[in-house]
Structure 1
């Protein structure tokens, strides 16, 4: 049975506007499941709290950049090795709008990553 993973707070991604020109904030965050633990892949999700801005605001998990480890699993008396993520990466992006309707209007994205983890023997 997976253990509940305490939510990992992702600090606010913020960008301040300058006059009517658009500005962008972009960040990649890596989160480690901890020693002898892996993430349950289907449980990984981003819980958004708030967003603002006149441009594009999004998050994306970078699954091709996860650090995967071999986890031994026994099924019907036979041992199999499955790959599971030990470290995950999420990309955050926030843009202000440009033009008179967005004068000095900033942009932000707030939220956290929530997942379950499993302990495994190395």
Structure 2
């Protein structure tokens, strides 16, 4: 995957942690595209996570840079997305914060509790 695409997604499912937090994350983005790697911790369909990562990396290939604490409305059609920097297994990653069904981001009031779990500073460095 690295040789062909320059990046790949790795998955550690919520069942291997605490039944709440998954750890979808990219490898190779920093080395091959000069941009911090990404992470998603929401327990969602892996194909959805991979599709979002694919869109982000295509945008990076086209010159876009994603930044912490900025909201972006052109990643998932009809929804805003935000990023926060976290540590994941000894490296910095840019966590993709997804909105709830009503479009409310976890950093905003009235966000559904399930989606707020994306802000948890869960210890992904622990052995699984």
In which range does the TM-score fall when normalised by the shorter chain?
Answer: under 0.3
More helix by share: 2
Give the structure-2-normalised TM-score. 0.25
More strand by share: 1
Give the structure, 1 or 2, with the largest relative contact order (CA under 8 Å, sep 6 or more). 1
